Amino acid sequence: MFLWADLVDLVRRPFTSLRRIDDRRRVRDGLLALALSVSLPALVTELAALGPFRPPPNLASLPSLTAQGVDIYARWVYQHRFVLPLYGVLISAALWVAAAGLIHVIARTLGGHGDFAGYLKLAGFAALVGLVSLPLSLLDAFLKLQGNSRVELSIGQLLGLLGIGVFLWQNVLLVLAARMHYGLSTERALAAAIGPVGAIVVLAIALVVLAVILTILAQQTPAP
């Protein structure tokens, strides 16, 4: 239950909460927080995958080639809907660990004196903040099961906005954690945290774009 109390405190009182987590929580607590942050959304996605396939909306308004690509990708995602969340768990966890590792290296290069295990613990709790959108994700999953596409579209847009807010807050927590754990100034903590996070985000986007392109090309290649 302490994880949920820490989650609330990270939203309400991030400074004191990070300090308490750094002092009182163990590394395995941070790893548990990270595991929950990537596995619970995946379970909700698996639930939503039980719903029927629905073609992407507004395809008629897109250029023919773009509409064809969007439709192919949507069908490919639906065909692999139960496997993709499992890959998502592994990739998300790996990206969080990689980001923490890069931040640790840069922070130590800038004169910090913290250890990697301690910062990984704090990064795991920063990832836990992503669960604030879980109730809305559950509602979105039930709407998918019911086929209520009209309300689902509105909930999806709200989820997108909430996701942006959560991402920004997680980055704030990573900066605060770097400043506190490594004893850095705010400027050096920003340099240590934002650069690696930006690189990880760019890499993730590039991988998604590459996957979309390869999927479309594979669907369009005639069978021998």
Average the pLDDT over each of 15-29, 40-54, 65-79, 169-183 and give the range with the smallest value: 65-79
Instruction: Give residue 188's Cα distance to chain centre.
Output: 25
Q: Which residue has the higher pLDDT, 201 or 45?
A: 45
Token pair 């997108």 is found at 160
| Structural domain count of the chain | 1
Q: What's the rounded mean pLDDT across residues 56-81?
A: 73
Q: Residue-wise over 9-18: b if at least 16 C-beta within 10 A, else e?
A: bbeeebeebb
pLDDT at 112 over 80: yes
Distance from C-alpha of 86 to C-alpha of 62, rounded to nearest angstrom: 31
Provide the 3-class DSSP secondary structure of residue 48: helix
| pLDDT score at 80 | 85
DSSP 8-state secondary structure symbol assigned to residue 221: S
Instruction: Give residue 4's Cα distance to chain centre.
Output: 18
pLDDT, tens only, 155-213: 888 888 999 899 999 999 999 999 999 999 999 999 888 877 777 777 777 777 776 66
Give residue 138's domain range. 2-220
Alpha helices, DSSP H only, in 129-185? 134-146, 149-182
Exposed (0-12), middle (13-18) or buried (19+): which is 101, by Cβ within 10 Å? middle
Looking at this protein, which amino acid is placed at residue 126?
A
Average the pLDDT over each of 50-59, 96-105, 111-120, 131-140 and give the range with the smallest value: 50-59
pLDDT at 220 over 60: no
User: What pTM value is reported for the model?
Assistant: 0.84
Provide the 3-class DSSP secondary structure of residue 40: helix
CA-based radius of gyration for the chain: 20
219 confidence band (pLDDT: 50, 70, 90): low
pLDDT, tens only, 52-67: 877 776 666 667 666 7
pLDDT at 143 over 90: no
Angle, CA of 161, 165 and 168, to the nearest 5°? 140
Distance from C-alpha of 200 to C-alpha of 207, rounded to nearest angstrom: 11
DSSP 8-state secondary structure symbol assigned to residue 57: T
